[in-house]
Structure 1
Amino acid sequence: MDELQFMTVLRNNRDPIIHNWLHEFHENGLQIYEETSFLQEAHSYFTFMMDTDIPFEEHEHVKRVPYYYKNLFENKISSSDLLRSNHIWRNSLMRFIEEELHDQLIPMHAVRKINHRLDQFERYVFDYYNECTDRLLADKESTITELHEARMTIIGKMAASMAHEIRNPLTSVLGFIKMIRHQISDRSYDKLIPYLDIIEIEFQNIQMHITGFLCFSKKDVIEESFVDVSSRSVIETVISLIQPRIIDENIELTFDSIRDTTLHIQKIAIQQVLSNILINSIDAMYQIEGGRKINVSSRLDGENYIISVTNNGPEIPSSMKDSLFTPFVTSKKEGTGLGLAISKQIMNRNKGDILFTSNPEETTFMMVFHL
């Protein structure tokens, strides 16, 4: 039997050879992706194996390797399965030659050509497979690095915000402790009570800020309990805490009808929301020379209870309105953009929401509680 006859016999027995390969493939527990595509690839591979006269790099089957790899990757076919599949293919071919052509004189140079062809393809596919895997790992490492850097940036911004929000109360506490120490040395005990009251207020401020930051965590261990409280007491407590700033900034604070009701809320967290809104209102009026005004009101609206805070500062820029409650979005030069994001999350946890309206004359933030 010459080479041409040998190759013709193999071509005429393509289907039995592929069938035997597929049978052994299943027996070895290897995975198959979509069967029609799988068999098409097998027929293409058989043609490539037989086309020994076509240069390796020019064969259409070799040019399809990127598509072939994509199917393997998408269907999670491992490189070890790929290697076993190729060995089973070679064994199936050799078994056919031994069993069907055992009484023929086999042209071994033709067998060597076919084996060389299969070896070339195996090396080529594995090199390509490894190259793509390395590229994928590099991309993943790059993504991990970017995520790490982004996370560190967020942590840095949150740390800066925490320091900013806590530094002022701590400075005030330190100052009054020094004054208390001085009064004690002078035995002027009658002045200590007001100082201690201010220190207590500043510590409540710190507690509210810490509660706000902890709201970004999902852990139950930091969850504040829900209690029934008077809405009026919440408003009055927060007003008393920020009253010194109201006076220092020469702001006229007015109250419309304050409707009292019982709210089932996380008291400290809700006080933090109202405090954030009032502080933002104060900060917003830095650009106003005179006539700075803040109005606080509350009302029942159907099944909702609404606390509104209105200031006559500048309008919130249109570019920020859609993302105002997104972390790190702020118009303040030294702001961190966490206050409203925290406030939104707190209100959602308390079965409520926070809304706003803004125009050139005034800006109003509304804390909405669903009763």
Structure 2
Amino acid sequence: MRYKYFRLNVVLRILALLILGYSGFYILTQTHFWLVSFWLFLALIIILIGLIRYVERSRRDLTYFLLSIKQNDFSNSFPYEKTDELNFAFHEINQVMKNLRNEKASNYLYLQTVVEHVRVAVLCFDEDDKVTLSNKAAKELFQKDHISSLASLAKVSEEIASKVEQLKSGERELVKVKVGGTLLNLSVQVTTFKLQNKDYKLVSFQDIKNELEEKEIESWQRLIRVLTHEIKNSVIPISTLSEVILQVFKTEVQAKNNSQTEAEAYQDIVGGLETIEARSKGLAHFVNTYDQLTKVLKPEFSTVQLLPLVNRIENLFKPDLEAANIDFKVKVDPTYEVNVDPNLLDQVLINLVKNAIEAIKDQPYKSIQLSTRLEQDKVILSVRDNGPGIPDEVLDNIFVPFYTTKQSGSGIGLSLSRQIMGLHKGSIAVKSSSEGTSFELIF
């Protein structure tokens, strides 16, 4: 319809030009009304200019529309009338392109929201090892506000950057690294893809420390159950038998008059049996001590405020803190509440404070701080000291049952603390540097 109207409009204007031209020429040459021919020629010029502008307007609108598409600019409107089908087509195409652009923006926003929502750290590298996509979890994991390239990731950990470079598409590897004083067990997985003839590498980083700890605790508990059973079966009869023999010897020898040689033999036998008894009892105590690691604790949950609980721990250690001249600070939000077994949590805090006191015993200025904060809707209670820190080779083993660097330590305190936090669906993390150590209870 628009093109029929366009042709009709052009044809009518051309006819008008021909009629005006012929009429003006005829009147000018055949009559004396030359002024009429002047007005006819003037009208001819006006119609001719209008015809040129009318034809060029369509070309100009088309050029403008195509440039708008090229520049991805669909903010301009194309007003049209019922007979103006070209501008109507421009308007319709412009609306379609606007909808496509809005849909593209919505899809990108949706994808960005999903990527930001997942708790798995994600980084995407292009062919030049530049980061084209990163999410909030990655920034939190690597403790950097901006990761721009693989070189920037290498500043956090050269081992992680090396693994990202080496791993091929579909491969996964477990990497144990220390980031910001925190030991992480990262599952690193790589996927490669091509987009607009460019190669990209999508890398995910997931800290599976909690999952590994649960499996580790379960394995240790199975092993300890077997060891406890076997050792008890051997120790108890030895201890019982040694007590009986010792009692018989004491009774028999005291009832008879023996020679000096018999007395010396008696002393040797008694001494040996007493040693057997002492070592047997010591071994039995050893087994009973570690047996608590295998017992399935049953927490009795209740909602408690952290501040009164922490104050109770402070009062418990007050004599030791004053004797050692320790600056004990409490920065706990009085509004924070957690659903825990207060007795089990007391046990965890007592163990952590004891360790902190031991860690700072040789420091000129001794400080222990208990504080709380809220991160990602989780309450975190930290116990921090200003000791010399934990060496890396020790840090990797502190939650292993029986492992201890103390002469009189049993090596079950931190392992049991981790087990208790696991029962509360929480976790325990440690950060250590030369400026001190911080244990964080995450609820």
Q: Scaled by the length of structure 2, what TM-score is found?
A: 0.35
Larger radius of gyration: 2
Between the two structures, name the one with larger relative contact order (CA 8 Å, sep ≥ 6). 1
Point out the structure with the larger strand share: 2
